[in-house]
């Protein structure tokens, strides 16, 4: 590299000077060259595309091609005085105008007046307006007439990163060329060419990091390369590149993904700690990790991933090695978790915690059983189930066929038993005896039908005494039910219900029941709860001992978590 006082940055030193040197814009070069060779040269061109992809360089090459002393050809000579003047930016007939700083109508009027005069010593007067979308509406209006009917000696070349901001009246008068983002592999190849020309020692992995920093822009990549060379000189290491340009170390991405698929939670958290210590923006790192998993997913999903992924060949080879035998489904499940984490990190106060939780969940995901394997297990269970007895509560039903088992897998179900018709008992059973009082049950059911609010309270009362003309009900001392029913209005309601139910005048007594009192009948609510608990215990025992369910648990390796009656 030059040791002189004046240093020319790489983006200017290695700026394309011919159409053949344009990287990644072959479709534009070919179209312009064909137009020149056939003599179909438009009077106005619009070059649109991202920054640093060659729009202004192409405009200068086109200007040199049109004004070259050796004649109009599909490549400039770059050695005649006119080509040299345009390359240096000193031509009196090629005007490069910054649309961002010359936005006014007066600037365009001056341009329009200048366009009337013949070029001083060139074939064409050429106006190159960069960032043309920055012109004001009045400036565009002033340009319209000249753009529609320009003099024969004038050519316009517009460049913009935002073509949608141009008026349709301008767009309709220009031939538009859309410049693409430069593929990463082509940026790496260009950087390698420059490195060899400047005698710089640098690895392909480091060049790939620099190229990725450019994000499709050749100029941005060259600027990043300049920054690295300013620090490292002619010998560049991978660690220097990672530190200087702030790129995420690809080895860290590979380490985390490997730990996730190996279920190594210790290494996952250790790598996240490294990310935080290095100072990477955690959400940006998450997005890089998402991109890494996307690469793995595409590699495992298609036959020719190189046609889809914008990667250098060494990077692609390394990712194929990392993908190994991991299934696309496993990658996709973890990629879904990272996408969710990225959304949550945008609003999270603790982004590191969100990332750690997502990676821990990804590292502890249970493997998914293939559907064909599940079907094989179902067939094995059907074969076993056909020869096993029915559940105890299925007595009297016909034995299920294999087809019925396929449609409706075995489940713990039992029809509720119908209680026997209650005998006319008027005595009260004690809590210790655990017997029922059918007459009291019938009265509470009657009360629920006529006065639901009163009936729901009576369900929690214990029938202390129930005989002709007298009904004595007890509630626990200090309970809500006692306080809500011992007022005169509630007692009057119960009295009216009792007289309607028994057909005779009835005295109602509400009594508190101390907690120390033992010989107290069960309330209906207590009885229902006790019956339900006993029923559940019986069901659990019957289900756990049934051979069909035992076989299902053995085949699927499961466990009984809940039992419900159908």
Between CA 540 and CA 412 the distance in angstroms is 9
Q: What is this structure's pTM? A: 0.59
What average pLDDT does the segment 47-67 reach? 93
**Which pLDDT tens digit goes with each residue over 210-259?**
988 888 899 999 999 998 998 888 888 888 888 787 777 788 888 999 99
223: nearest Cα among 213, 231, 232: 213
Length of the chain equals 566
187: nearest Cα among 159, 154, 225: 225
Which CATH code for domain 438-522?
3.30.300.180
pLDDT value, residue 19: 92
**Which pLDDT tens digit goes with each residue over 423-457?**
443 333 333 333 444 788 888 888 888 888 888 88
What average pLDDT does the segment 302-320 reach? 86
Helix H or strand E segment including 465? strand 462-467
pLDDT value, residue 566: 66
Express as a percent the part of the chain with pLDDT over 70: 87
Classify strands 44-48 and 94-98 as parallel, antiparallel or unpaired. unpaired
The domain 250-363 having CATH identifier 1.20.272.10: the answer here is yes
**Residue 402, class by beta-carbon neighbours within 10 Å (0-12 exposed, 13-18 middle, 19+ buried)?**
exposed
Sheet holding 462-467, edge to edge: 462-467, 470-476, 507-513
pLDDT value, residue 369: 65
pLDDT value, residue 435: 41
Express as a percent the part of the chain with pLDDT over 90: 32
Token digits for 24? 């990644």
**Which pLDDT tens digit goes with each residue over 488-542?**
888 888 888 888 888 888 888 888 888 777 778 888 888 888 888 888 888 888 8
Per-domain boundaries in the chain: 10-178, 184-245, 250-363, 438-522
Between CA 300 and CA 194 the distance in angstroms is 35
**Which pLDDT tens digit goes with each residue over 60-93?**
999 999 999 888 888 899 999 999 999 998 898 9
pLDDT value, residue 423: 42
**Which pLDDT tens digit goes with each residue over 542-552?**
888 888 787 77
**Which pLDDT tens digit goes with each residue over 398-409?**
444 544 444 444
Dihedral sign (CA 382, 384, 390, 391): negative
Dihedral sign (CA 36, 41, 43, 46): negative
What average pLDDT does the segment 18-41 reach? 91
pLDDT value, residue 453: 84
Taking 70 as the threshold, does the pLDDT of residue 195 lie above it? yes
In SS3 terms, 497-552 reads as HHHHHHCCCCEEEEEEECCCCCCCCCCHHHHHHHHHHHHHHHHHHHHHHCHHHHHH
Between CA 254 and CA 275 the distance in angstroms is 13
Taking 60 as the threshold, does the pLDDT of residue 421 lie above it? no
pLDDT value, residue 426: 39
Which CATH code for domain 184-245?
1.10.8.60
Taking 50 as the threshold, does the pLDDT of residue 169 lie above it? yes
pLDDT value, residue 290: 94
pLDDT value, residue 397: 45
pLDDT grade for 44, boundaries at 50, 70 and 90: very high
What average pLDDT does the segment 29-34 reach? 93
Taking 70 as the threshold, does the pLDDT of residue 302 lie above it? yes
Determine the 3-state secondary structure of 464 from DSSP: strand
pLDDT value, residue 76: 92
Between CA 494 and CA 84 the distance in angstroms is 112
**Residue 254, class by beta-carbon neighbours within 10 Å (0-12 exposed, 13-18 middle, 19+ buried)?**
middle
Which CATH code for domain 10-178?
3.40.50.300
pLDDT value, residue 513: 87
* Cα within 13 Å of Cα(304), Cβ side: 1
Q: How confident is the prediction for the chain on average, in pLDDT?
A: 83
Bigger pLDDT: 383 vs 36: 36
Token digits for 185? 């592999």
* CB 392, CB 323: distance < 8 Å: no
* CB 228, CB 210: distance < 8 Å: yes
**Which pLDDT tens digit goes with each residue over 266-298?**
999 999 998 888 888 889 899 999 999 999 999
């Amino acid at each position: 590299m030059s040791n002189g006082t004046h240093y020319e940055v790489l983006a200017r030193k290695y700026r394309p000077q011919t159409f053949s040197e344009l990287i990644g814009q072959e479709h534009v070069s070919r179209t312009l060259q064909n137009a020149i060779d056939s003599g179909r040269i438009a009077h106005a061109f619009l070059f649109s595309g991202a920054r640093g992809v060659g729009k202004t360089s192409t405009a200068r090459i086109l200007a040199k091609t049109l004004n070259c002393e050796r004649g109009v050809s599909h490549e400039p000579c770059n050695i005649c005085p006119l080509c040299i003047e345009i390359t240096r930016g000193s031509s009196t007939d090629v005007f490069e105008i910054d649309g961002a700083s010359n936005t006014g109508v007066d600037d365009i009027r001056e341009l329009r007046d200048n366009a009337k005069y013949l070029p001083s010593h060139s074939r064409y007067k050429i106006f190159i307006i960069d960032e043309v979308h920055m012109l004001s509406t009045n400036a565009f209006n002033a340009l319209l007439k000249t753009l529609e009917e320009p003099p024969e000696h004038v050519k316009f070349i517009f460049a913009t990163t935002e073509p949608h901001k141009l008026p349709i009246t301008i767009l309709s008068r220009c031939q538009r060329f859309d410049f693409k983002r430069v593929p990463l592999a082509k940026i790496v190849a260009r950087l390698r060419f420059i490195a060899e020309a400047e005698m710089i020692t640098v690895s392909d992995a480091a060049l790939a990091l620099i190229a990725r920093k450019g994000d499709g822009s050749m100029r941005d990549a060259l600027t990043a390369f300049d920054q690295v060379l300013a620090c490292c000189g002619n010998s560049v290491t991978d660690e220097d590149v990672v530190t200087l340009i702030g790129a995420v170390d690809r080895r860290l991405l590979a380490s985390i993904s490997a730990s996730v698929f190996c279920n190594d939670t210790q290494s996952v958290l250790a790598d996240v700690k490294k990310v935080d210590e290095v100072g990477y923006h955690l959400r940006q790192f998450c997005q890089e990790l998402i991109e890494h998993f996307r690469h793995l997913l595409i590699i495992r999903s298609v036959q020719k991933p190189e046609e889809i992924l914008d990667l250098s060949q060494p990077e692609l080879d390394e990712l194929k090695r990392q993908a190994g035998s991991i299934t696309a489904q496993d990658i996709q499940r973890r990629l879904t978790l990272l996408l969710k984490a990225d959304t949550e990190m945008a609003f999270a106060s603790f982004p590191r915690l969100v990332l750690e939780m997502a990676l821990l969940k990804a590292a502890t995901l249970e493997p998914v059983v293939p559907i064909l394997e599940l079907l094989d297990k179902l067939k094995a269970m059907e074969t076993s189930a056909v020869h096993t007895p029915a559940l105890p509560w299925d007595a009297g039903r016909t034995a299920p066929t294999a087809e019925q088992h396929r449609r409706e897998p075995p489940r713990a179900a039992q029809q509720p038993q119908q209680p026997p018709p209650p005998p006319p008992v008027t005595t009260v059973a004690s809590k210790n005896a655990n017997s029922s009082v059918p007459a009291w049950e019938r009265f509470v059911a009657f009360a629920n039908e006529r006065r639901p609010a009163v009936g729901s309270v009576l369900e929690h009362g214990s029938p202390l005494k129930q005989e002709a003309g007298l009904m004595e009900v007890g509630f626990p001392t200090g309970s809500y039910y006692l306080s809500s029913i011992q007022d005169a209005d509630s007692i009057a309601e119960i009295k009216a219900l009792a007289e309607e139910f028994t057909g005779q005048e009835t005295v109602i007594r509400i009594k508190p029941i101390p907690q120390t009192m033992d010989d107290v009948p069960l309330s209906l609510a207590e009885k229902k709860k006790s019956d339900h608990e006993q029923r559940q215990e019986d069901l659990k025992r019957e289900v756990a001992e049934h051979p069909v369910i035992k076989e299902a648990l053995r085949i699927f390796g499961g466990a009984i978590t809940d039992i419900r009656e159908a």
